[in-house]
Amino acid sequence: MSATASPKRHALLRKRKDIAFQVVAVVATSIAIAMLVLLLVDVARRGFGGLDLSLFTNYPSRFPDQAGLKSALVGSVFVIGLTAAFALPLGVAAAVYLEEIAPNSWLKAIIQTNISNLAGVPSIVYGLLGLEVFVRAMQLDRSIITGALTLTLLILPIIIIATQEGLRAIPSSFREASYALGGTKLQTIGAVVLPMALPSMLTGTILALSRAIGETAPLITIGALTFIAFLPDGLRAPFTVLPIQIFNWISRPQAGFHERAAAGILVLLAVLLLMNAAAIILRNRYQRRAQW
């Protein structure tokens, strides 16, 4: 009798623990979402009135009503565009080599472990690395190309891991079918594997760029300017980006700059939402095409 009741008692106890854990998880998630909603409502209330044409056409100024995001917007476009040009081919090439070409060995295991660890390194560490390597050792100064290379180091592990996950999701039968038809390894990778893994690759790349566009610490570390009233004229020009400009405004004591900072936050959130929406659309589009 007791032997029969004991398993039932343990099962009931496990069920109660599961229910308690679910309740705690729901409550914690609800609190986090509520705080986020309150924060977004407060930012929208403060910044919606500052969303005018001058915000996008004016340079930063000492006067709040004349301050704008023009140089920061252009700087963000330059930095993120160059970061994508560096990170995408390097990340995809590294992932393809590790997943499809490199033989299993202790060296590959060490490289794979280091890549996974680098994906969790704080961004300030990449800023210090960029300061030492790109600014001082390579003497690239505090320029757009320095910022792009630093952000490339930041998001490269994320792109590699996302691309590897996409490659692993491709069934081996597709590779074997390509080999059976006479395709070489490179032909199989280029014509079969990469097109099928493209949705995951694009999603990972866009999400990684979304993280890069919101980073402030590594760019401040390498010396990005907090106030710049001109457009960059080349890759060696000084620059600023949206998060740094917002940080500059929010640190000012005038209430007008706080309103401009809230408006800048809304612009940055809109850019991030557009990039995430693009990732979802591209993933769904290429997944449907792969099914055809």
Q: Domain check: are 222 and 206 in the same one?
A: yes
Q: Domain check: are 31 and 74 in the same one?
A: no
How many residues are recorded in the chain?
Answer: 292
Q: Domain check: are 9 and 131 in the same one?
A: no
Q: Domain check: are 42 and 60 in the same one?
A: no
DSSP state of 241: -
Buried b (16+ CB within 10 A) or exposed e, 157-185: bbbbbbbbbbbeebeeeebeebeeeebee
Number of H helices, E strands in the chain: 12, 0
Give kind and range of the element (H or E) at residue 19: helix 2-47
Q: Domain check: are 42 and 68 in the same one?
A: no
Q: Domain check: are 158 and 33 in the same one?
A: no
Here the CATH number for the domain that contains residue 179 is 1.10.3720.10
Q: Domain check: are 42 and 141 in the same one?
A: no
Handedness of CA 91, 267, 37, 279 (dihedral sign): negative
pLDDT value at position 1? 47
Q: Domain check: are 169 and 114 in the same one?
A: yes
Q: Domain check: are 102 and 28 in the same one?
A: no
Instruction: List, run by run, the mean pLDDT of 10-residue segments along the chain (292 residues).
Output: 63 82 92 91 84 86 86 89 91 90 87 88 89 88 89 91 87 85 84 83 83 85 77 83 88 86 89 82 70 54
- Maximal C-alpha separation, the chain: 85
Count of domains observed in the chain: 2
How many CA atoms are closer than 13 Å to the CA of 166, on its beta-carbon side?
29
Q: Domain check: are 208 and 146 in the same one?
A: yes
Q: Domain check: are 78 and 38 in the same one?
A: no
Domain boundary among the residues 35, 50, 65 is at: 50
Q: Domain check: are 248 and 271 in the same one?
A: yes
Q: Which domain range does residue 8 map to?
A: 2-50
